[in-house]
Amino acid sequence: MAGMSAMFRRTPKNPGERLVTLIGKPGCHLCDDAEAVIGKVCGELGVPWEKKDITQDEELHRQYWEQIPVVLVDGAQHTFWRVNEERLRKALAQR
């Protein structure tokens, strides 16, 4: 049975297979703070990341305008408003 449990464990993804998305807008100081943390963590771990602007995307604006900045990890919401460096590192080390 020990071999069976190994089959169901999640294997960690390679850093290049992960994606962090920062959803924000220009002129947002919290977005700038989030970008600094994401840039640092993703740069150190070799994880790609992207920025999306809610002023350029009606659906993102509708969904997230009260929460920006919003951070997604692999498409799932990780956090909003403030990004904790250690929490982001742990999320990227999982899966």
pLDDT at 85 over 90: yes
pLDDT at 1 over 50: no
Q: How many CB atoms lie within 10 A of CB 73?
A: 19
CA 91 to chain centre: 8
State the alpha helices, DSSP H only, in 46-84. Answer: 58-64
Per-residue pLDDT tens over the stretch 27-70: 999 999 999 999 999 999 999 999 999 999 999 999 999 999 99
What predicted TM-score, i.e. pTM, was given to this entire model? Answer: 0.82
Tokens standing for 87?
A: 């929490």
